[in-house]
Amino acid sequence: MVRGIPAIAGLVLLALNTGCGSSFPGSTVTGADLGLETNPGVTTLAAAQRPTLVTGQVIYVPIYSEIYDLGPNRTFQLAATLSLRNTDRQNPIVITAVDYYDSAGKRVKTYLTDPIQLAPLTSTAVVVHQTDTLGGTGANFLVTWGAAVAVSEPIVEAIMISTASQQGISFVSPGRVIEQR
């Protein structure tokens, strides 16, 4: 069990929201709410460690941290997990940006101050807590990644979930490539 919610098969719920990063004007998030925790296979890269990236993408991921319930004047809050998965079996990838945007297209959080490297078959995640309504109904993430050699594309998707009483809702939102690098 993770925070009262059954673990989703194999999903590492590594919250990138406990110490580094920055918030933007209007954000209700404090510095303690942002950041990066590492798990095996995830490494923060200092400037001297950063490889020259020859391939990569920018991926747009819709996040539904709240959805309309019974009409436009009432919303239902959801917890959202942005899952970042390196699918390459032999090479690492580098995540250079994980930025959160609100319904108006305004960047409201950035989750990385330094790039992170995901070893082969490693995953990590960003969690938008159920009580976080900063993004609104049209929130999204832009994730930028790259690699020093040709690799299989990572899987970047979001999982939304909420339970109340005996009711529950969950669904997946796949990322879409909006730019090749």
Note down pLDDT in tens along the chain; length 181 residues.
334 433 332 333 333 333 333 443 333 332 223 434 457 899 999 999 999 999 999 999 999 988 888 888 888 899 999 999 999 999 999 999 999 999 999 999 999 999 999 999 999 999 999 999 999 999 999 999 999 999 999 999 999 999 877 888 999 999 999 999 9
φ, ψ (nearest 5 deg) of residue 142: -115, 125
Cα angle for residues 36, 105, 19 (degrees, 5° grid): 15
- Architecture label for domain 22-180: Sandwich (2.60)
How many residues would you count in the chain?
Answer: 181
Q: Which residues pair with 67 in a beta bridge?
A: 76
Which residue(s) pair with 43 in the sheet?
117
State phi, psi for 26 to the nearest 5 degrees.
90, -10
User: Where exactly are the structural domains of the chain?
Assistant: 22-180
Measured CA to CA, the distance from residue 121 to residue 136 in angstroms comes to: 32
CA atoms lying within 13 Å on the CB side of residue 68: 5
